[in-house]
Structure 1
Amino acid sequence: MTAAPRTAGAGPQDDVSPAMDPSSTETPPLEVVVVTGLSGAGKNSAGRVLEDLGWFVVDNLPPALLLPMVELGARGDLRRFAAVVDVRSRAFSSDLQEAIRVLSAAGHRPRVVYVHARDEVLVRRYESNRREHPLQGTGTLIDGISAERALLTGIAGEADLWVDTSDLNIHQLRATLENAFAREGRTPPLTATVMSFGFKYGLPLDADLVVDARFLPNPHWVPELRAHTGRDPDVREYVLGQEGAAEFLDRYVDVLRLLVPGYRREGKRYLTLAVGCTGGKHRSVAIAEEFARRLGAEGVAAVARHRDLGRE
């Protein structure tokens, strides 16, 4: 998932504004994305995806240089600027939070993408690359990961979008970021990811809302359905045709109708609704697909993603 570091890079500027009058002292607001998170979780890969989407991307940017770089870009022809910021910039956590507040006060639109993964996944990635963690020092690898998690607590809590790469390949990471950012420079009011998962594999760490579909009969115990998934019409019809399924969907969509306007008023741009069943193969998949369809009908840009499908 990780990629080799870059000192600086730029993607194609397909959607740019005219250059400013150099005599002007005002700068137009810029779309700004700050990619941060755990070392080894895929920040550089996320930066490369944004670069491919037409964002100007700078890697390993110290927080203190965020505003000067944004203002410099705004005086040129940039409209979308992204920076990968991590613990390689030693004065990091509090400085980054302050830099983001300064950007907001200057009228720009900073969004924070927090990329993370489970400890055992990070350990496996570091061991496969035979690299040391930047905060490991004389301790163990897990010591470095724990120290970084503690350092990131503040900015993680303020992030606009959490991306858990534990079970994502690079193509799935790309799809996640494209769903959030590849909209021809237009930011949707709210983008929803409806994720199915299996409780036996653990809760998704990046879920805003969690729904339990285990109250419905399990197609696993129906021999002719066992090998199929919730994407197959026969399983979908079985799950959605159960007593209480339609009422559950109707009432939860009513709840979402109350929540979504509030999220929009508060400036929340991303929502992850996680739907779980035992193994993440049948009930949660069918329900997640239906939730995504219904959210789309409500005017929310929604996509279904199935974390544990095919894992058995």
Structure 2
Amino acid sequence: MQLILISGLSGSGKSVALKMLEDLGYFCIDNLPAALLPQTAKLLADEGYNQMAISVDIRGAVSLPALPACMAELRDRGVDVRLLFLESKTDTLVKRFSETRRRHPLSVSNPALTVTESILLERELLADLIELGHRVDTSELAANGLRAWVRQFVALDHSRLTLIFQSFGFKHGIPLDADFVFDVRCLPNPHYDPLLRPLTGKDEPVARFLAAEPAVGRMADDIERFVANWLPVFDRDNRPYLTVGIGCTGGQHRSVYLAELLTRQFSRLRQVLVRHREAPHED
């Protein structure tokens, strides 16, 4: 049996993720108190369901502290439990609540709280859950991109550490989910070539341009050496995911090229994903 738990900040895309899992054939439940997870999983298993996705978040705040113990109990029973934790920057969440005109769940019971205060309080209440699963920053991520990342998450072998190379643009902010961040803005920029400007680092003309620059090769070698030296430490710490952010100015050319290059190099021996936050997403 496989159980995927969806948690994270209100407005960060949990509904999109749950709907994607439903489309993939999972039996989905939204807003289940954490304390009911073991009993619910057993009931569904008895009914013949072997793929379930359940949203557990601040709406069930009273039982959230029980979530780690419930996950451990389910794993002891042989259930493949995975947690996907979604979050976004505070200003992004405020904008989303303003656009949808929805109230934050915490302000329902405490109307005196502003949206910003509710988000900051929720972030504090959920802080202990972040390390329990796979953390994804959806601040600059379109719905199609999140759906694609959910599909990736489902397909992973969760018995092994997953190494993730994520490109991004510094002008859009540093990803919240990055464990390491490398700044490659010092490298030659294809943006200044009018023919290369509309392309991305995945396109052959941009790749040829960057591959011909010695500094790009040195940067790639340095990042590869650093990550390779530290990966065994994360293995020993039983970390399920390690996200390496690679940022250039706009997140279209240099960071994308290096993320793709490093993914190819590490995929010979590791389970590796590549994600591009700013570059167009393939759905």
Instruction: State whether TM-score is above 0.5.
Output: yes
RMSD: 2.4
Of residues 129, 139, 164, the one that matches 2:113 is 139
Does the 8 Å contact 2:6/2:14 carry over to 1? yes
Of residues 150, 171, 178, the one that matches 1:200 is 171
Task: Give runs of aligned pairs for residues 41-190 of structure 1, distance below 5 A.
Answer: 41-136=12-107, 137-156=111-130, 158-182=131-155, 187=158, 189-190=160-161
Deviations 1:4-28 (A, max 9, x none): xxxxxxxxxxxxxxxxxxxxxxxxx
Does the 8 Å contact 1:207/1:272 carry over to 2? yes
For 2:182, the aligned partner's letter is V
% same residue: 38
- Aligned partner of 2:267 in structure 1 is 296
Matched pairs, number: 277
Q: Which runs of 5 or more residues in structure 2 are unaligned?
A: none
Deviations 1:72-92 (A, max 9, x none): 333443333221011221304
- Displacement of 1:204: 0.6
Q: Distance in 1 between matches of 2:22 and 2:116?
A: 31
Does the 8 Å contact 1:164/1:205 carry over to 2? yes
For 1:135, the aligned partner's letter is L
Deviations 1:214-258 (A, max 9, x none): 232223344554444323322212222212322432343344344
Q: Distance in 1 between matches of 2:18 and 2:267?
A: 28
- Bigger mean CA deviation after superposition, 253-262 or 277-286: 253-262
Runs of 4+ in 1 over 6 A off after TM superposition: none
Does the 8 Å contact 1:160/1:269 carry over to 2? yes
- Displacement of 1:197: 1.1
Q: Which has the higher contact order (CA 8 A, sep 6+)?
A: 2
TM-score by length of 1: 0.79
- Displacement of 1:48: 1.6
- Displacement of 1:286: 1.3
Of residues 201, 216, 225, the one that matches 2:187 is 216
- Displacement of 1:153: 1.1
For 2:132, the aligned partner's letter is A
Q: Distance in 1 between matches of 2:223 and 2:87?
A: 29
Does the 8 Å contact 1:55/1:82 carry over to 2? yes
Go from structure 1 to structure 2 and tell me whether the alpha carbon gap of 1:308 and 1:60 turns closer, same or farther (over 3 Å shift).
same
SS of equivalent to 2:62: coil
- Aligned partner of 1:8 in structure 2 is none
Higher-Rg member (1/2) = 1
- Displacement of 1:206: 1.0
- Displacement of 1:271: 3.2
Does the 8 Å contact 1:53/1:182 carry over to 2? no
For 1:194, the aligned partner's letter is F
- Displacement of 1:106: 4.0
For 1:189, the aligned partner's letter is R
- Aligned partner of 2:255 in structure 1 is 284
- Aligned partner of 1:309 in structure 2 is 279
Q: Distance in 1 between matches of 2:51 and 2:231?
A: 26
Go from structure 1 to structure 2 and tell me whether the alpha carbon gap of 1:212 and 1:90 turns closer, same or farther (over 3 Å shift).
closer
- Displacement of 1:104: 3.6
Structure showing the higher helix proportion among its residues: 2
Q: Which runs of 5 or more residues in structure 1 are unaligned?
A: 1-29
